[in-house]
Every structure is written in C-alpha cells, then in structure tokens.
C-alpha cells in the first residue's frame, strides 16, 4: 500500500515570505504521479501543482514550485511571496495511473500580515 | 466547463436515520470517486467508478454505505443507518482518466447527532 506522510500539522508564514511544506511517500512502483492540493474553508479541493515521477525536472506554477527527490521519496512544496489568500489546508497526494488519489493528513498554513 | 456538482451542501440527521448524497461529474469524465474527509484528516477513498462499473470499493463500509452510478453519469452515495462517526465531509471527484484530470466538488458536510 502506498502511504503519504505530511509531518507538519500547522505552519505559519508572514506575507511576502517563503514557506516550504514537507511530504514523503512510500511506494515500490516506479511510475506514479504526485500532487499538491489546496483546500480553503469553502472545502473545494484546488489543484496547486503536479509532478510525474518519470520527469526529473521539478514542476513550477507561478509562485509554487516543488522539490521532487525520487530516491528519497520526498515531494516538498515551496510557496514564494506568500499571500493572505494562500491561507488554507494543503494536502499532498499520490496516485498510480488509473487509481484514486491517496492523500496525506494535511498541513494547515496560516499567512499573517 | 462546468465543475463537479454536489448536493446537498449541508445535512444534519439523527443517528440511525438514512441520508443520500448526489454527484454530477464533469461531462465526459469516465471515472468518478467518492471520498470521506473526517475533520482534521485527509480525504479517504470510499469508492471508485469507471463508467458505471465499480473499480475499487475496498474501504466502503458495505453494511451501511452503498453507491451507484447509473448510466455512467450521475452518482448517489447512501448511508443507512447513519452512525455518529459518519460525521464528515463527503467529496465527489471526477477524472478524464489522465493524471491532470482530477476535479473535486465542494462536498457535503454531514453531521450525525
């Protein structure tokens, strides 16, 4: 079974600063996909960024980037220039092709003025 | 494109009552998922449909939960009878089958009293 671990239950960052959220996973497969989702109080899961395991280049989406370390099974999310609207729960998720997403327990991020 | 529609948004019932949730996925998405998200945890897969067939229901408590996806489009998740521990947000998601195609609805918050 694939497991996803987020070791930081809560984090706080000041506006305009940079914060990194950690995620590790466990799998014996070689081809898989990793995601970071944001869940604001509205409850809707919003895709932040995704990474295919066979791609060595780290994914980036505007202020969001990942540090994907396949050998270490690590997939951290870096948020640059944090904004108040980034306050939310962040979930790391893993999937194999054709299967459902397997989520971590989440990290609650608070961006303060 | 229209998103994943879910209803109702909120539901409060007494234990031992029954409840049903409805999901309308994105048009053309063959795969539909139901997740249960207990407060403070990540979403947990209950059931995955491919068209109108079940792919994975290994974590569905079949003594009280049931789900169907008639004609491979809309889906209904039912709980009968409800228990206090069923209080959670129930999320529906759909996918085109490709790794970037997971889209979530806004969920139904169920409170069992």
Contact B107 A105 (CB under 8 A): no
Domain boundaries, chain B: 5-96
Give the pLDDT of residue B22.
97
Give contacts of B42 with chain A, Cβ < 8 Å. 4, 91, 93, 103-106
Helix (H) or strand (E) holding A85: none
Alpha-carbon distance of B27 to B39, in angstroms, equals 30
The chain B residue lying nearest A95, using CA atoms, is B99
Give contacts of B44 with chain A, Cβ < 8 Å. 103
Top-confidence residue, A98 or A8: A8
Give the pLDDT of residue B98.
58
Owner of token pair 């239950």: A9
Contact B100 A50 (CB under 8 A): yes
Give contacts of A49 with chain B, Cβ < 8 Å. none
Residue range B65-94: average pLDDT?
95
pLDDT at B99 over 70: no
Please say whether the beta carbons of A110 and A88 come within 8 A.
Answer: no
State chain B's mean pLDDT as an integer.
93
* Number of domains present in the structure of chain A: 1
Pairing mode of beta strands A88-95, A33-39: antiparallel
pLDDT over 90 for what percent of chain B? Answer: 81
Top-confidence residue, A102 or B52: A102
pLDDT at B100 over 90: no
Contact B102 A97 (CB under 8 A): no
State which residues form the domain around A24.
3-112
Alpha-carbon distance of B104 to B95, in angstroms, equals 9
Name the pLDDT band for A43 (thresholds 50, 70, 90): confident
The domain that contains A94 carries what CATH number? 2.60.40.10
Architecture per CATH, domain B5-96, reads as Sandwich (2.60)
State chain A's mean pLDDT as an integer.
94
């Amino acid at each position: 079974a694939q497991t996803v671990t987020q070791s930081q239950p809560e984090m706080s960052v000041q506006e305009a600063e940079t914060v990194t959220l950690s995620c590790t996973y466990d799998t014996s497969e070689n081809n898989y996909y990793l995601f970071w989702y944001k869940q604001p109080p509205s409850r809707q899961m919003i895709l932040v960024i995704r990474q295919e395991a066979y791609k060595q280049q780290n994914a980036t989406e505007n202020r969001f980037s990942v540090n994907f370390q396949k050998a270490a099974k690590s997939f951290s999310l870096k948020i640059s220039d944090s904004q108040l609207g980034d306050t939310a729960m962040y979930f790391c998720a893993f999937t194999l092709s054709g299967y459902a997403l397997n989520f971590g327990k989440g990290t609650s991020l608070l961006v303060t003025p | 494109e229209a998103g994943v529609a879910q209803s109702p948004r909120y539901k409060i019932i007494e234990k031992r009552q029954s409840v049903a949730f409805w999901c309308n996925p994105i048009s053309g998405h063959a795969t539909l998922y139901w997740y249960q998200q207990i407060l403070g945890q990540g979403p947990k897969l209950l059931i995955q449909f491919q068209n109108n067939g079940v792919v994975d229901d290994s974590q569905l408590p079949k003594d009280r939960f049931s789900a169907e996806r008639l004609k491979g489009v809309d889906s209904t998740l039912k709980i009968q009878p409800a228990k206090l521990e069923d209080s959670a947000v129930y999320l529906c998601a759909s996918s085109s089958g490709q790794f970037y195609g997971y889209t979530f609805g806004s969920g139904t918050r169920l409170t069992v009293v």
